[in-house]
Chain A
Amino acid sequence: MPGYDYKPFEVTPPPELDGEGEAKTRYPVAIIGAGPIGLAAAVDLATKGVPSIVLDDNNVVSIGSRAICWAKRTLEIFDRLGIGERMLAKGVTWKTGRLFHGSSEVYNFDLLPEEGHKYPAFINLQQYYVEQYLVERAKEFPDLIDLRFKNKVVEHQDNGDHITLQVETPFGNYELKADYTIVCDGAGSPTRKRMGLPFDGQTFEEHFLIADVEMEESPFETQVPERWFWFEPEFHSGQSALLHKQPDNIYRIDLQLGPESDPKLEATEEKVFPRIKAIVGDKPFKLDWMSVYKFRCAKLERFVHNRMLFVGDSAHVVSPFGARGGNGGIQDVDNICWKLAAVIKGEADVSLLETYNEERVHGSAENILNSSRATNFMTPKSSIEHLFRNEVLNLSSKMPFARKLINSGRLSVPCSLEAKTLQQNDESNGIKQVQVGDVVLDAPVKADGDSTWLVSQVQGEFTLLGVGDVELPDVGGVRRIGINQSNVNYKTLHDEEGLATRRYGEGNAYLLRPDGHVLAIYKSPDAGKIRSVLDHISNPIFEKEVA
């Protein structure tokens, strides 16, 4: 199969310029940037009935493969948005990582040792497929998503109660007004720069070569796709190397080149071919894409600036070890869209958006901490750091504590939102795995005799989920779902394998947010209590310190 076929998206004159049709003067939401994050935001809002206009300066999906690793949580969010199963079907599923020092394996880990989840720990799928699937999904909402390619935002103005955007197109320029603007224009965010917002953090000196090669025969010795990571590999003079399988027989190779290397010189076929041959041997391959990167971890201090809402790479960037960039951005989308929809529909005060700021500044700080620690471990800055690193590897052949210190990337997991403004105290008393602030933990269940999954049943709305012997009160705006319950006038699921009961605890009632995070857990839920939690969401009071 040939490499990906980059089909340009159709570019049409905007109604503001063609003199025909009706040009809307004001949109509830404008989204700047149709990368994975902007597109996901448009789809998420559309599932809640909120219309948006998406403006992108380009007309093609992301060229070359950037993100490849999509985490379980991202797939669960995409399940809600309608492309999770498609991604799973196309993607390469993996869960085992192997770590080598030189040529010997020192350690391997299984990222999802447990059964009973719809989605695996990770799939690998090129970013261009994800964007294509999102564009196709967005087109299923023609009345709600106005997707405009080759529409570049060049200027904006915050007028207090709305935003004005200046847009440049091949057909001329126009202006539009939006109540809110979601800024998803990527790591180099022109909007962020225009606003003069500091984007502070750490830049790593090391250069990395990232290459995607297509080959029929697998370069792995195993048949099952895995993540292979080498420290001081024998085939490469640099500090580290990474090998990963993608769909269409494409393999991702990351090679650490050292801080002194010349990126221009390194990104040439003369330099790259011998490096790849050193890994894959004589097996034939075709070079699909390559580039040389320097990585950075940085973020905005605040993600909410009045009506300008920063989401994805425009708000935070991380080095890719840990796959926390795109995955972190999708969690931003999951977090902000239900809140923005509630504000736009008049169901919540605008201060609810401040909880997006609080929760995702926290989440991205955790992502940055993990990504920079991994990058530091991989790129020792002094001979002492190097010495420690190598002795960790030396000890790890036998000592478990040392294995845990090896850091080739702590792979993306959702952060806990416990103790943030919206989350309540735990009022249950049973034994359970899922805690307040956690995101919903999947389990296989039966609905009307058909096999399904909890993540496909309980996300997208406020939900009161009761397990076994617990009475669920009827509260306006809250969907009720019972597990192993009968004779009730709401939806029930059957927990045949006992996993849902083990994960949530017999007799507990979970109050879930539309993004699947746990707001509260009750032993005896009552309507008044739940109503007051919802009232607090529609008008949050910030008692705790806001980050």
Chain B
Amino acid sequence: MMNDTSMMTDKLGANGDEFYNFLMDAHEGLSEEQSHALNARLVLMLANEVGNIDTLKSVIKTAVEFNHE
């Protein structure tokens, strides 16, 4: 899974910092519960943006590989 070239490509490029800070700002002032809910919505919406089921499965599997023991 980890050699998936698409996932190993940085697609945010120069916009990485802007994206990250925009995301953190979206969480500002939320309770932990609200933040979890926001994260869940975001995952669902971004999944819809990606669309392709094979890509989605592969991303999920890779993210699971990074689980802390």
Residues of A at the B interface (CB closer than 8 Å) are 370, 373, 376-377, 381-385, 388, 391-392, 394-395, 398-401, 403-405, 407, 410
Known: A373-B17, A376-B21, A395-B66. A404 touches B10 (CB 8 A): yes
Known: A384-B27, A384-B35. A404 touches B12 (CB 8 A): yes
Contacts of A403 in B (CB 8 A): 10
Segment 34-67 of B: residues with Cβ below 8 Å from A:
35, 39, 66
The answer to whether A404 touches B16 (Cβ under 8 A) is yes
Q: Please, could you name 27 A-B residue pairs with CB atoms under 8 Å apart, sorted by A?
A: A373-B17, A373-B20, A373-B21, A376-B21, A377-B20, A381-B28, A383-B32, A384-B30, A384-B32, A384-B35, A385-B27, A388-B23, A391-B66, A394-B66, A394-B68, A398-B2, A400-B8, A400-B9, A401-B9, A401-B12, A401-B16, A404-B10, A405-B12, A405-B16, A405-B20, A407-B17, A407-B20
Question: Taking each of A395, A405, A410, which has the highest tally of chain B beta carbons within 10 Å of its own beta carbon?
Answer: A405
The answer to whether B7 touches A399 (Cβ under 8 A) is yes
Q: Is the interface of A mostly helix, strand, loop or mixed?
A: helix
Once the chains are docked, how many angstroms separate the CA of A394 from the CA of B64?
Answer: 12
Contacts of A381 in B (CB 8 A): 28
Once the chains are docked, how many angstroms separate the CA of A376 from the CA of B28?
Answer: 12
Partner pick for A400 among B10, B39, B66, B68, CB 8 A cutoff: B10
Once the chains are docked, how many angstroms separate the CA of A388 from the CA of B43?
Answer: 14
Question: Taking each of B16, B30, B68, which has the highest tally of chain A beta carbons within 10 Å of its own beta carbon?
Answer: B16
Once the chains are docked, how many angstroms separate the CA of A373 from the CA of B21?
Answer: 7
Residue of B nearest to A397 (CB): B66
Residue of B nearest to A382 (CB): B27
Q: Which 8 A-B pairs have the closest CB atoms?
A: A401-B10, A384-B35, A400-B10, A404-B16, A405-B16, A384-B27, A373-B17, A373-B21
Once the chains are docked, how many angstroms separate the CA of A392 from the CA of B11?
Answer: 15
Apart from the given pairs A383-B32, A404-B12, 7 other A-B contacts in the complex at a CB distance below 8 Å: A382-B27, A384-B39, A385-B27, A388-B24, A391-B66, A392-B20, A401-B9
The smallest beta-carbon distance between B9 and chain A, in angstroms, is: 7
Question: Taking each of B24, B27, B30, which has the highest tally of chain A beta carbons within 10 Å of its own beta carbon?
Answer: B24
The smallest beta-carbon distance between A285 and chain B, in angstroms, is: 35
Once the chains are docked, how many angstroms separate the CA of A217 from the CA of B23?
Answer: 44
Contacts of A376 in B (CB 8 A): 21, 24
The smallest beta-carbon distance between B43 and chain A, in angstroms, is: 13
Once the chains are docked, how many angstroms separate the CA of A397 from the CA of B16?
Answer: 17
Residue of A nearest to B18 (CB): A373
Once the chains are docked, how many angstroms separate the CA of A404 from the CA of B20?
Answer: 11
The smallest beta-carbon distance between A465 and chain B, in angstroms, is: 28
Partner pick for B17 among A382, A383, A384, A405, CB 8 A cutoff: A405
The answer to whether A399 touches B24 (Cβ under 8 A) is no
The smallest beta-carbon distance between A163 and chain B, in angstroms, is: 40
Contacts of A384 in B (CB 8 A): 27, 30, 32, 35, 39
